[in-house]
Structure 1
Amino acid sequence: MPLPHDEAFKKLLETFFQEFIELFFPELDSMLDYSETRFLMQELLVDIVGEEARELDLLLEIRYRGLDGYILIHLEPQSYRDTRFHERMFIYFSRLFERYRKEHKLIIPIAIFTSDEIREEQDTLEMVIPEHQILRFQFLKVELRKQNWRRFIDSDNAVAAALLAKMGYTTREARDVRREFLRMFMKLKTRLDQGRLALVMSVADLYFKPDRAQDEEIIKELMIQYPEEGEAIMELMPAWKRWGYEEGIAEGIEQGIEQGIEKGQAEIIRKLLLHGFTPEEVSKAVELPVDEIKKLV
């Protein structure tokens, strides 16, 4: 059963906290000592804005090189429009400051906006009078829809792969995003254990809209290019397992290769050629004569 969105997203940040900071806040990354990181128990804080008690999503303690001491980092994902969210972040900050100011020299609040809408999220709370600024509070933020997905496809960062479908792309680019995610996933497979791989896939599955025909086509392309990795991908595809056709895909590819250039395989070969593969490379992958491949150019 897939993890609920909030639980899955929180687990992603817990598991890949360092990768998240590296990806979106490289300057902060250079100041953190990840060897001394401790997640704190959820803080139950009273939300004056909403007049209800709320739990902070993630709060951790980590050593900060610039201060030679420990700081707090508060991570707060936000998936829906809230015109007073910036006020809530300030309230959380104030309560944390009140409680931890003697032990921690710095508190860094970070908001991760996961909405499908592209908008400018308010990240600042100010109070001023003429010629004097009483308060200026500004938290760090990541607005995923404003991130261009193409910037991340050469990365081996697990967070980049898991959140690729939440980045900014057009409807026409959706298939390319799906294929690049799977390619990124195969790179991660060489250095992550099965549990972490499954987490990346579970989060990604929350954002991709399943399209059986398209996924079948992509699997075939990848299995020709990366036969062993293609099978491994299917083992970790919850949505595809529910559809129950992974074995049929593998068998169909094998039969197609044995029977020569059938319609479906011909289309795959054309696409491989369009993507820059030479006839010789495609010939080796599908075990067909180069002359047969060149007929499709």
Structure 2
Amino acid sequence: MDQELEQDQEWDQEQEQERINHDEAFKKLLHTFSKEFIELFFPRLAKELDLGEVIFLSEEQLHDIVGGQSRRLDVLFRARLRGQEVHILVHLEPQSWHEADFHERMYIYFGRLYEKYRKQYKLIIPIAVFSGPRKKKERNGIDMRIAGYKILQFRFLKVQLKRSHWRQFIDSDNPVAAALLAKRDYNEEERRELRKAYLRMLLRLRQKLDDARLALVMSVADLYYKSTVEEDQSIAEELNEQDSKEGHELMKLMPEWSKQAYMEGKEEGREEGKELIIRNLLRKDFSLEQIADMVDEPIEKIRRLAK
């Protein structure tokens, strides 16, 4: 019984660590592509905002607002409203598990933001991102009424990734759309088509993103879609038959360890490629836990390469 309990605790810890890794990767995506995030999910809002100079608040400022409930997946930044010298404080929370009282917590966050910044910022925009498997419509506000009187009406903007189909986004050149494509709604029969669409999106993004930002998109996407060497090889071969130029360009974008295996078929090549990827991710300030999850290697190996 004790052994079973210990195994359950270890599994819970692994699940918690995986959740943290995913949320931290999502947070890094938002930091890098905040403008593209707003443009993708809230195009009307994007037209009203000046997102040319986004300023992120520090972890200390965030903790001061949300107190002991602060978590690393909270992101807080400010932008400007077009044509006005008015700051806008935007609170985004990537939410990857279901909480029945989440709408109440968003209201509490909003209230604390308003209390602290109401004299400085005329507009506060709370946004919640639901990235879990749940498709049921999430509640996004609080209403209080009595005897026909409206006491309170609070709403926050929301994104539920699983409530939209992946095919709606395959023609987009938005890097956030590519990174989160596998978080959209799809079934196992569509898995291969989704992967091909994602790889084609990468080919287009390669023309507009530098290597570091493209690597970030690929790293986040790989957290949500666990491809195999064989799967990517097969897709590359198929695309190469359809369009040799496209297939050739795709090979340049394949994860380095997959490309080595594809070209050489050697375990040594895969290991060298993995170590190269690990060193690149370390230079981009990913945590040891995140990298271990991305490349499916023990954290001890990541720690050794980090020295």
Letter in 1 for 2:264: G
Root-mean-square deviation (CA), in Å?
A: 2.2
**Counterpart contact for 2:66–2:112, Cα < 8 Å:** no
Letter in 1 for 2:208: R
**Counterpart contact for 2:175–2:217, Cα < 8 Å:** yes
Task: For 1:45 and 1:122, locate their aligned partners in 2 and report how far apart those are by CA, in whole Å.
Answer: 26
**Counterpart contact for 2:130–2:159, Cα < 8 Å:** yes
2:116 to 95, 99, 106: 99
In the other structure, the counterpart of 2:199 is 182
Q: CA deviation at 1:138?
A: 0.6
2:121 alignment partner, SS class: coil
Asked if 1:117 corresponds to 2:134, the answer is: yes
Change (3 A) 1:25 1:239: farther
Asked if 1:54 corresponds to 2:74, the answer is: no
Structure holding more helix per residue: 2
Change (3 A) 1:124 1:216: same
**Counterpart contact for 2:178–2:217, Cα < 8 Å:** yes
Runs of 4+ in 1 over 6 A off after TM superposition: none
Change (3 A) 1:46 1:15: closer
1:71 to 82, 88, 94: 88
**Counterpart contact for 1:61–1:73, Cα < 8 Å:** yes
Change (3 A) 1:209 1:191: same
The unaligned stretches of length 5 or more in structure 1 are 250-297
2:48 to 19, 31, 42: 31
Q: CA deviation at 1:170?
A: 1.9
Q: CA deviation at 1:124?
A: 0.9
Query: CA offsets, 1:8-46, max 9 Å, x none?
Result: 100101111111111110110000112232111121157
Task: For 1:15 and 1:104, locate their aligned partners in 2 and report how far apart those are by CA, in whole Å.
Answer: 23
1:30 alignment partner, SS class: helix
2:236 to 201, 219, 241: 219
In the other structure, the counterpart of 1:245 is 261
In the other structure, the counterpart of 1:202 is 219
Count of residue correspondences: 242
Structure 2 length as normaliser, TM-score?
Answer: 0.74
Letter in 1 for 2:258: W
In the other structure, the counterpart of 2:249 is 229
Task: For 2:222 and 2:230, locate their aligned partners in 1 and report how far apart those are by CA, in whole Å.
Answer: 16
In the other structure, the counterpart of 2:21 is 4
Task: For 1:171 and 1:159, locate their aligned partners in 2 and report how far apart those are by CA, in whole Å.
Answer: 22
Task: For 1:211 and 1:149, locate their aligned partners in 2 and report how far apart those are by CA, in whole Å.
Answer: 20
Q: CA deviation at 1:218?
A: 0.3
Letter in 2 for 1:245: A
1:115 alignment partner, SS class: coil
**Which shows bigger deviation, 156-165 or 205-214?**
205-214
Task: For 2:258 and 2:23, locate their aligned partners in 1 and report how far apart those are by CA, in whole Å.
Answer: 22
**Counterpart contact for 2:199–2:250, Cα < 8 Å:** no
Query: CA offsets, 1:200-238, max 9 Å, x none?
Result: 00110011122343222102123442143122112xx26
**Counterpart contact for 1:223–1:231, Cα < 8 Å:** no
Identity %: 49
Change (3 A) 1:84 1:238: farther
**Counterpart contact for 2:23–2:96, Cα < 8 Å:** no
**Which shows bigger deviation, 83-92 or 64-73?**
64-73
**Counterpart contact for 2:93–2:128, Cα < 8 Å:** yes
Asked if 1:167 corresponds to 2:167, the answer is: no
Query: CA offsets, 1:78-127, max 9 Å, x none?
Result: 00010010011111111111111110000000000001121111111111
Letter in 2 for 1:21: I
Asked if 1:44 corresponds to 2:63, the answer is: yes
**Counterpart contact for 1:205–1:239, Cα < 8 Å:** no
Task: For 2:140 and 2:223, locate their aligned partners in 1 and report how far apart those are by CA, in whole Å.
Answer: 26
In the other structure, the counterpart of 1:88 is 105
Q: CA deviation at 1:169?
A: 1.4
Change (3 A) 1:117 1:211: farther
Task: For 1:46 and 1:108, locate their aligned partners in 2 and report how far apart those are by CA, in whole Å.
Answer: 15
Task: For 2:135 and 2:143, locate their aligned partners in 1 and report how far apart those are by CA, in whole Å.
Answer: 24
In the other structure, the counterpart of 1:262 is none
Change (3 A) 1:134 1:39: same
Change (3 A) 1:57 1:238: farther
**Counterpart contact for 2:182–2:194, Cα < 8 Å:** yes
The unaligned stretches of length 5 or more in structure 2 are 1-17, 266-307
